[in-house]
Chain A
Amino acid sequence: MPLATRRAARIAPPLVTPPLVAAPLVALPLVVMALLAAPATPRAAEPAPIEVTIKDHRFEPAEITVPAGQAVRLHVRNLDASAEEFDSPSLKVEKVIAAHGAAVVHLRPLKPGRYAFTGEYHEETAHGTVIAQ
C-alpha cells in the first residue's frame, strides 16, 4: 500500500462518530418499545395463578398440572430464609425469588408433556415438574 494512503488512514480523525452509528441505538429501543406496546394475550382470559410454595428448599406441590395450549401463571412464594432461582430451560424460565419473597412465573402455552424445573440454588432437593395436558 502506498505510504501516503497509509498515513492518511492513520491520521484520519478516529473519534468522529459516523451518523449511521446512532441508528441501532435508536432502532433497538424502538423495537423494544414496539414489542412492549404489542397487545399481550388478554389478561381476562387467563385463569387465576397457581399457588406454589418453596419450603425447606422443596417445591410444594412438586407436580403442577396445567392446561395445554394456554398461558398460565404460577405464584411462587419462598418461605425459606435464602433466595431460590426457579430454573427451567424447557419452560424457558429463570427467575430469582428472594428470601421470604414471592414471584409470578409466566408459563407460555405448552404442548402436552412433562417439563422439569429446579431450584437452581438447591438442586439436590428442589425439583418439580409441570405437566401440561
Chain B
Amino acid sequence: MTERELNERLRQAVENAAPDDLEAILSRCGNGKGTVIEMKKTSSASSGRKRRYMGLVAACLALVLVAGGGGLFYQQAYAVASVISLDVNPSIELTVNKSEKVLSCTGLNEEGRTVLADMGGGSDLKGAKLDVAVNAIVGALVRSGYLDDLDSAILISVEDSDADRGARLQQELVASVDGVLQGASNQTAVLSQSVTANKALDDQAKQNNISTGKAYLVERVLAVNGSLSFDALAGLSVEELRDLLTTGAPAMPIGKDAALQAALAYAGLGEGDYSWAEVDPELDEATPYYEVELIVNGQETDYGVHAYTGEVIQGANVSAMNPGPALPQGSTPAVTQADAEAIAMAHAGVQDVPAVTKQDYDDGALRWDVEFRADGYEYEYEIDAATGAILSSQKEAEPVPVTPNVPAAQQPAQSGGSTASSSSGDIGADAAKTAALAHAGVDASQASRMKCEQDYDDGRLEYEIEFAAGGYEYEYTIDAGSGAVLDHERDRDD
C-alpha cells in the first residue's frame, strides 16, 4: 500500500465515521454575528451521553443474558440496598442499606483483610455512613502503600437494583475518594463502574476471593481476549486489568511474582538477598514490562521484565554495583517545580504570576504540567522533569467571564446572564457559586480570585467555578440545572 493509498483509506474512514451534527451546531449558534451562545440543551448535543447510557444498559443486559440470569438481580435476595466494592489488589466489599449506612464490611482477600485489621476487620465501620467508611478505607490503603505509585488505580464498583440510586452513589463515591486522594497529594486513577451482578458471576468472584466488581472487570478483559483464563486474570491488580483493556489484552501477563523471580534470577540473587522489592506493572507502554525495584546492601537497582515473555529487557547485575538504564521512577525529578515554573514563565515572557503546577507521567517520563494566567491569557506548559525541555505549550485567550457588567445587548438572550435564571434548568451563576462554596465549607467573604464561567459539556450546561481560600485553590464544576457538584478539585495555593 502506498503512502497516498494509506492516507486516502484513513481519510475515507474518518469521513464516514464523523457524525453529521450540523443541526445541533446551528441550534447552538444564534442568528446574529458570532456572539450568541445557545445554552439550551439540544437533543443532538446530548446524544453522546444517551448513547453511552444505552451502551451500558445493553452491555448489562447482554451480560445477564449470557450468564443465564434472565434479569434476576441476585443481590435482591439479600435485604441490602447496595453493594460497593473497592479493589486495588486488596479487595474490600461493603453492603449498605437504603439510608446508606454500612451493614457489613469484608476483606475478600488476604490483603483486604490486612488493610481492615486496624478497623476490627471491618466491623468498626458497621453503622457508619458509606462515604465515611469509604474514606477511612481509602486512607488505610494510602497508609499501607497500596496507592503510592503514580500509575496506581482504584476501582469503585456499585451494584444496585435501583439504577438511579446506583449512579448517584457511584458519582458521590468517586468525588469523595478523589477528594481523599487529592488531600494526600496522591495521583492514583479512580475508576468506577456500575455492576449488574448475577449468581454465576458472584460465585466465580467468591471462588477467586475477589469482589463482584473486579469479576466484572475480568469479564470485560475476557470479552476482549477469550483465550485468557478467568482465574489467572482474577489474580492481577486493577491497574494491570485496566492496562490490559486499554491495550487489547494481547496475552496473559506473567504477573508481579514471576517478574520479581525473573529479576532475582537475572541478578543472581536469592529470596534472602534483598532488603526491599517493589514491582510496578507498565503494561500500557510500547514494550509492556514490569519494573522491578530491588534494594541490596543499600543499593537500589531497577530491572525491566517483559510483561509477556518474562525476559529481562533492562537491568544491571547487582554485583557490578551499576544501576541499570533509566526507567520511569517516582523519584525526585532533576528539574524542581520552581525550575519548571520559571522555564514556562520565561518562555511566556511573564514574571512571578501564581501557577498551578502538577507532576504528571506520560509515555513513561515524568513531567511538570504548569498552568498560569497573565494579561488575559491562559498558559499551559509541559516541562520535561529530567531535562527542563518544553514538551508543549499552549496560550489561549481567557474566556469572557459571565459577569453582570457585560452590556445586556452582548448577553446571550437565552443564557439569562449571571444572576438571572430565566431559562429553564439554569440556576444562575450566583447559585452555582453558593453551591461550590458550601461544598468547600468556605464562607463567601473568605474567598478570593472568584471566577465563574458557563460551559457546555456533554450536551449539558455547567458552571466552572474557581476561587482561592485558606491557602488552597478550588475548582468546581456545577450542574447548571440541578446545582449538583459534578467535579471538584482542591490544590495548594502556593
Chains A and B form a bound pair: no
